[in-house]
Structure 1
């Protein structure tokens, strides 16, 4: 147990290690949380892929129009029939990839991490980070406070 757990100027209750939770458990929950955060970033990239691909597909409308106007109807038709609206992988547009990722991987991972925090740390999230913050704070420094002003406990 860390000495700052009961300190009046330390972390708020939600970020104090519950009694009986050992260092390895806090470290393991921190590693699990970090892995989920990395998955969040990967998911964001998937949404980037989805939006960029969709934007490109919509921009093809202008290319088709300009090819027609420039007197190249055969190229306009090739772009329209070969690329416009095409699946990005067999049978899938990007929204279907996101739906499958969310259902198959992201949501189960998110639920597992939340369950581990509930069961192993009484639902107190980010204990590893809260303890790291406390270890790195400079007592009395106005920009090293343990918590926001509105979190007195």
Structure 2
């Protein structure tokens, strides 16, 4: 499918008929907030991975302490810290699952519903219009979208 407008956003990034500026701006802010949630989720997964990696390394340290003859401290660390919950009753995988199931998924679903109801499901309309305002039309590396190779698929 080709777009009739050769020098502008593709149809997926053009404002639907009748969509007002205030709604585009509000959807842009909603998208921005989702991006922050995605970033936070990345940190949560990093926390999960780093905590797990630390626990495995701690297990190795305990074994090395035992091999070095320090059984008392090794036993104490093994008993009190290795495999310990990071939050009452939870390991990090449980925190990640709870975040995903009870916050992240609800946020994504409502953001999608807002776009579907208000903008025919289109994403990044605010950014697409900002790009149109900021780019230098006709200048290389300021194209509205990638050029389609007319010879592709022949």
Question: Which TM-score applies when normalising by structure 2?
Answer: 0.92
Match of 1:130 in 2: 128
Q: State the distance in 1 between where 2:111 and 2:57 align.
A: 40
Q: 5+ unaligned residues in a row in structure 2: which ranges?
A: none
CA displacement at 1:7 relative to structure 2? 4.3
- Aligned match for 2:143, one of 135, 142, 145: 145
Q: State the distance in 2 between where 1:143 and 1:75 align.
A: 62
Match of 2:109 in 1: 111
Q: State the distance in 1 between where 2:94 and 2:77 align.
A: 23
Q: State the distance in 2 between where 1:150 and 1:82 align.
A: 61
Match of 1:98 in 2: 96
| Aligned: 1:26 with 2:59 | no
Q: State the distance in 2 between where 1:55 and 1:110 align.
A: 29
| Aligned: 1:88 with 2:90 | no
Q: 5+ unaligned residues in a row in structure 1: which ranges?
A: 1-5
Match of 1:66 in 2: 64
Could you list the per-position Cα deviations for residues 110-146 of structure 1 after superposition, in whole angstroms to 9, with x for gaps in the alignment?
0000111111001111000000000011011110000
Match of 2:46 in 1: 48
Q: State the distance in 2 between where 1:91 and 1:10 align.
A: 54
- Aligned match for 2:7, one of 2, 6, 9: 9
Match of 1:3 in 2: none
Q: State the distance in 2 between where 1:150 and 1:99 align.
A: 41
Match of 1:78 in 2: 76
| 1:47–1:7 distance in 2 versus 1, CA, 3 Å | same
- How many residues align? The count is 147
Moved over 3 A (4+): none
